[in-house]
Copies of this chain bind each other. A is one copy, B any other.
Amino acid sequence: MTRLKNDVLIRALLREPTPYTPIWLMRQAGRYLPEYNQTRARAGNFLALCKNPDFATEVTLQPIARYALDAAIVFSDILTIPDAMGLGLYFSAGEGPKFERPLRDEWAIRDLSAPDPDVHLRYVIDAVAQSRRALANSVPLIGFSGSPFTLACYMIEGQGRSDFATVKKMLYDRPDLLHRILAVNASAVTAYLNAQIQAGAQVIMIFDTWGGLLSHAAFQEFSLAYTQQILAGVARTHDGERIPRIVFTKGGGLWLESIADCGCDAAGLDWTIDIGSARSRVGSKIALQGNLDPAVLLSSPAAIKREAGAILERFGTGNGHVFNLGHGISQFTPPEHVAALVEAVHQLSAPYHSGG
């Protein structure tokens, strides 16, 4: 058991006192950083970058070197699991992720099985272990996975869509098939997150990017139930340390009470919800992570300071807030705007904290 030099994130996720509000940014190792683009060019392409633990470790640490962020998140993609299941992940220029063999036929769905992370996802586990070593206990390392439903969206459609109509059609018409896929995904994600914890991840996060497309009832049945199942199976501690778990459902503000009950320590919030109302809805049950509109980072240092200050004020005094964006950082963000945000959050948040 080794002590973290900066454990402010861990303590905020567990709603313990901290001297200021910690901050990290979803997709903080990304295309807005020139050094990331250089490493990516050396790797050849995005997937090669993900699949090489040396390159993945390098980009994981880049934002930590540049900014006073309170956490690193292992560089990877949410679609590594379906790729390891044999669906054939690829990226075509200028488009999002696609699968060569989307899941459509009943026999293929019945045939689906969870990959062994230590074998088929070795490159991610190695990237976690290497990043953890490279961080040398400076800040905690976050491991992550897509949620079973979000993975299923891409697995069934074969690519991103605005409405995921094929997935929805299956949901209403053949819920048994979708439940079969989700059950396999849940077991795969559980093993994957446990392997990341074994390899050194100190926090885990589940990204339910597309859960917000579901109806109220369908969200509970087809997304949240499987997240809950995963969290029941993921290690709560490792080497004597608590491993806090964050669940982020984009567009999930209406369902915050049920998300708070799913076994997570913190819920990620997008920017559509007022964080003050969110806090009164969950009380002291969980911590909250968010919730700046990523578009604020496109504006100006003065606007960034104003908008960050407004969120800190809405959250108010007390513990349990991790500052973040409400979605991944835009590739068009000027890097100096991130510096302005990190500085603003650290400075402006101190008066709301009694110490720690």
A293 and B168 contacting across the interface, CB-CB below 8 Å: yes
Interface positions of A from 203 to 235, Cβ below 8 Å from B: 212-219
A123 within 8 A of B: no
- How does the 8 Å CB contact mask read for A326-340 relative to B, with 1 for contact and 0 for none? 100010100000000
Across the interface, A168 reaches (CB within 8 A) one of B163, B213, B219, B298, namely B298
Question: Which of A272, A273, A298, A307 has the most B CB atoms < 10 Å from its CB?
Answer: A272
Q: Which residues of B contact A213 (CB under 8 A)?
A: 272
C-alpha gap A187/B169 in the complex (Å): 41
B173 and A303 contacting across the interface, CB-CB below 8 Å: yes
Q: Which residues of B contact A273 (CB under 8 A)?
A: 216, 254
A300 and B215 contacting across the interface, CB-CB below 8 Å: no
C-alpha gap A298/B251 in the complex (Å): 23
C-alpha gap A162/B251 in the complex (Å): 14
A354 within 8 A of B: no
A43 within 8 A of B: no
Across the interface, A169 reaches (CB within 8 A) one of B216, B291, B298, B307, namely B298
Number of copies: 2
- How does the 8 Å CB contact mask read for A143-187 relative to B, with 1 for contact and 0 for none? 000000000000000000011010011011100000000000000
Number of interface residues of A (CB under 8 A): 37
Nearest B residue to A295 via CB reads B168
B299 and A169 contacting across the interface, CB-CB below 8 Å: yes
Across the interface, A172 reaches (CB within 8 A) one of B162, B172, B254, B298, namely B298
Nearest B residue to A218 via CB reads B293
A253 within 8 A of B: yes
B330 and A214 contacting across the interface, CB-CB below 8 Å: no
A75 within 8 A of B: no
B216 and A172 contacting across the interface, CB-CB below 8 Å: no
B272 and A212 contacting across the interface, CB-CB below 8 Å: yes
Q: Which residues of B contact A36 (CB under 8 A)?
A: none
Closest beta carbon of chain B to A261's beta carbon, Å: 16
A303 and B272 contacting across the interface, CB-CB below 8 Å: no
C-alpha gap A224/B183 in the complex (Å): 42
C-alpha gap A271/B218 in the complex (Å): 10
On whether A274 and B169 interact (CB within 8 A), knowing A162-B162, A253-B254, the answer reads no
A108 within 8 A of B: no
C-alpha gap A5/B163 in the complex (Å): 37
A85 within 8 A of B: no
A121 within 8 A of B: no
Nearest B residue to A292 via CB reads B215
A26 within 8 A of B: no
Closest beta carbon of chain B to A111's beta carbon, Å: 24
Tell me the A residues contacting B by CB distance below 8 Å. 162-163, 165, 168-169, 171-173, 212-219, 251, 253-254, 271-274, 277, 291, 293, 295-296, 298-300, 303, 307, 310, 326, 330, 332
Given A172-B300, A172-B303; 4 other pairs, CB 8 A cutoff: A169-B295, A216-B277, A254-B254, A254-B277
Q: List 12 A-B contacts (CB under 8 A).
A: A163-B295, A172-B307, A214-B272, A215-B271, A215-B272, A215-B291, A215-B326, A216-B273, A216-B274, A216-B277, A253-B254, A254-B273
